[in-house]
Amino acid sequence: MTDTAPRSSKAEQTRQSIIDAAMGLFRSGGYDQATMRAIADEAGVSVGNAYYYFSSKEHLIQAYYDQIQAAHAEAAEAPLSSEGDFTGRLRGVLLAWVDVAEPYHEFAGKFFKNAAEPSSPLSPFSEDSTAAREAAIELHGRVLDGSDLKLNKALREELPELLWLLQMGIVLFWVHDTSDGQQRTRDLVDQAVPIIDRMLRLTRLPGVRGVVDDIVGLIHLIRP
């Protein structure tokens, strides 16, 4: 059985209990304490059974990660419905991620390992992650949709993906951020968002427009 196949209720229940056990152990004891044996014990199943549902510990962590993503989509609804200008919407969505992800910061590095392993199906750039990635990109599409930003059409089309890349960069910073409550990441978002807003408005300047067109062309060239 793959990790995404349809499942019976009983199997789904066992599967969820393993995720719950992992979540509990992650929160209480950190990543190192959450061994597969401990997780299986806590879930009341055997080690082999845990591997029946999750083909590796990373896949199990990924299921955990998926819940963070879903929580982010939900938390992003507030700013997306209340904020009208681009900076407010973008800041709201980015800070919502920092809020949602905060409890998991301690072992977030383990998540991030997936980003750099190209052969892993868990990589955010991989074929297997297409759905999750496009959902995240779509979220940034909604940041733009409701905003007051006026942009060149070609740039406008690329921007959701570029904003998603920005978010990946912020996640990279966040992973390395050891400040209390990841305050430095919040500061980064607060300061970077208005700058991005100003940069985007500059793209309509005569001298800048040509460069923007080249950048869009470059994106088209390197996209798989």
Partner DNA sequence: TGTCATAGTTGAACACGTTCAAAAGATGGA
Partner DNA sequence: TCCATCTTTTGAACGTGTTCAACTATGACA
| Residue 122 CA: distances (Å) to CA of 17, 119, 169 | 22, 9, 18
Q: Which of 3, 224, 216 is nearest to 125 (CA)?
A: 224
Q: How far is the CB of 22 from DNA (least distance, A)?
A: 10
What is the C-alpha to C-alpha distance for residues 73 and 69, in angstroms, rounded to an integer? Answer: 6
Contacts of 161 (CB under 8 A, 6+ apart): 137, 140
Let me know: does 52 contact 1? Beta carbons within 8 Å. yes
CB closer to DNA out of 37 and 198: 37
Compute the least distance from the CB of residue 123 to a second copy, in Å: 8
CA torsion sign for 138, 139, 141, 142 is positive
Residue closer to DNA by CB (options 52, 112) is: 52
CB of 49 to a second copy, least distance (A): 27
Question: Minimum distance between the CB of residue 209 and DNA, rounded to whole angstroms?
Answer: 49
CB closer to a second copy, 15 vs 110: 110
Nearer to a second copy, 91 or 110 (CB): 110
Residues 196 and 218: their CA atoms lie apart, in Å, by: 20
Q: Give dist(CA 50, CA 39) in Å, integer.
A: 8
Q: Which does 11 bind (CB under 5 to 8 A by kind): DNA, a second copy, none?
A: DNA
Q: State the nearest-atom distance from the C-beta of 94 to a second copy, in Å.
A: 14
Binding-site ranges for a second copy (CB under 8 A): 109-110, 112-120, 123, 125, 172-173, 175-176, 178, 184, 187-188, 191-192, 194-195, 198-199, 202, 205, 207-208, 210-211, 214-215, 217-218, 221-222
